[in-house]
Structure 1
């Protein structure tokens, strides 16, 4: 067997370090923010490059997260196969990769967007990779509530790339993702609570127990139901989005209610199902926003 010093990381290792599935959802939400800001067709090539910049910085932040959390990842089953944990990548390689992606993405934003979008993207990188990962996550069970602000920024970044402003419409999109984040992550933490306990992370199920976490998920799902109606209220969207939001929220709230009513034996399976549904939920909710806008354009 070759030693670590004689092996070379593959492109797949670097690709995995950037958490491509998570970044794909980030880029999609940023793209929806761009399109809802209604840029003229002549700006689309420029904004596509700006969107690439947002994606590169997101991958850089993900790589930095993996670098900072490599010791915790090693004791968690969910993350034990990551390249840094397995030794397929070294710390200097990961740091260089994260820095190159981040600098490259910020350069694209500065060239093809504007200073506001660039500054907000840099602040988002710092908020996730440093404030959340290094400070909040190991310090408080409210880590995901406070740190969720960084994860809710993609549509704001997209809108700012178009207009150089942050209007109320962009703030509503931010609020949707911000409210969605706690029940999404707490569902994961419920069925992975032993992992988080071994890693010494004070996630809500570890510090306050499963029953309290299930109640918190239910309450946040009801808040999310209300928040996702705001695009219709402020006339950012129309009836198509409203119908989709009502349907998706009914599914989210029903799953949260079943999880709340479940005992510990059933809870893990229901939490896993809610976590998976929550990813599809956000994707389809933002797709409905976009589809609604397309319908308005056609009419």
Structure 2
């Protein structure tokens, strides 16, 4: 009987530890890092380096997410969206979560340092510190501009992927960082509008709480316009071709349509619909970068 009960507990425990890593978020981060690796070279990158870099970046990203669960457990327990998280519910203790995060971070750093290059290892560790410490422990609780300033940590994966292959920092990689940096505020503020009451309940200074929902809608529209302009830059500097230009313009116009509706004709579902589309937007945008890289069309020709 004891063996059966232990086996039954093992599956939920495994799921709890997986949940600590925020696997959906990490998957999106790893996708952008992977695209950064592919864009860093004209051909195909070394598959061994790609695997090592993907694992290392994924492990350190998961570690940052696990630390976020520990730091935010009090507020997580009070919010409808997060109250059932493993640490908030007590299914995983703070000590267990910290030990798990430390193991992931240590393993990821060693993989990157020894199997990829020291620059990527240190930059990835710096990103972990930026998210888990600077953003989660300080900015998140200090200013309504938390997601704008702290968003830089979440925008780093394409640069990490690039440095994993080349060993240096390139301006094109920084453009990819700028795209995610501009994308983050409208993405997260749409969710924070939907969950405004939750954030108010825990005294979290998110923009809809401190400045109101209408102000936040205006900010989302402005940042979406900024995103549209930033997304043009890879084409302007010759990094990408027409496939990316046309595809990104269509994606950005659709994002702008959501932002416009949220500002001027919103219903109860618009904020969440905008948030969900923003995730699809980023995924497709980076896949477009990849397709354009290997099937680049430099200009439109009219005969």
Q: TM-score range by the shorter chain?
A: over 0.9
Partner Cα distance (2:11, 2:292) in 1: 48
Q: 1:281 aligns to what?
A: 281
Q: 1:216 aligns to what?
A: 219
Alignment of 1:62-81 (within 5 A): 62-81=65-84
Q: 1:126 aligns to what?
A: 129
Distance 1:268 1:146, change over 3 A: farther
Cα deviation, 1:50-92, whole Å, max 9, x if unaligned, reads 1110000000000000111000100000001111112111111
Partner Cα distance (1:42, 1:245) in 2: 25
8 Å Cα contact 1:155-1:173 kept in structure 2: yes
State which drifts further: 84-93 or 22-31: 84-93
Q: What's the offset of the Cα at 1:145?
A: 0.5
Structure 1 residue 109 corresponds to structure 2 residue 89:
no
Distance 1:93 1:9, change over 3 A: farther
8 Å Cα contact 1:8-1:88 kept in structure 2: no
Q: 2:230 aligns to what?
A: 227
Query: 1:177 is matched with which residue: 175, 180, 183?
Result: 180
Could you tell me which runs of 5 or more consecutive residues in structure 2 were left unpaired when the two chains were aligned.
298-303
* TM-score in terms of structure 1 length: 0.94
Q: 1:56 aligns to what?
A: 59
Partner Cα distance (1:87, 1:39) in 2: 49
Partner Cα distance (2:267, 2:221) in 1: 13
Structure 1 residue 261 corresponds to structure 2 residue 264:
yes
Q: 2:15 aligns to what?
A: 12
8 Å Cα contact 2:208-2:215 kept in structure 1: yes
8 Å Cα contact 2:258-2:274 kept in structure 1: yes
8 Å Cα contact 1:190-1:268 kept in structure 2: no
Deviating 4+ runs (over 4 angstroms) = 6-9, 39-42
Structure 1 residue 97 corresponds to structure 2 residue 119:
no
Cα deviation, 1:178-215, whole Å, max 9, x if unaligned, reads 00000000000001000101111000000000110000
Q: What's the offset of the Cα at 1:114?
A: 1.1
8 Å Cα contact 2:45-2:165 kept in structure 1: no
Partner Cα distance (1:268, 1:187) in 2: 12
Could you tell me which runs of 5 or more consecutive residues in structure 1 were left unpaired when the two chains were aligned.
none
Structure 1 residue 243 corresponds to structure 2 residue 246:
yes
Q: What SS does the aligned partner of 2:46 have?
A: helix
Partner Cα distance (2:149, 2:196) in 1: 20
8 Å Cα contact 1:240-1:292 kept in structure 2: yes
Cα deviation, 1:234-288, whole Å, max 9, x if unaligned, reads 11111111111010001000110111103xxx45411111000000000000000
Partner Cα distance (2:44, 2:114) in 1: 18
How big is the alpha-carbon RMSD for the aligned residues of Structure 1 and Structure 2?
1.7
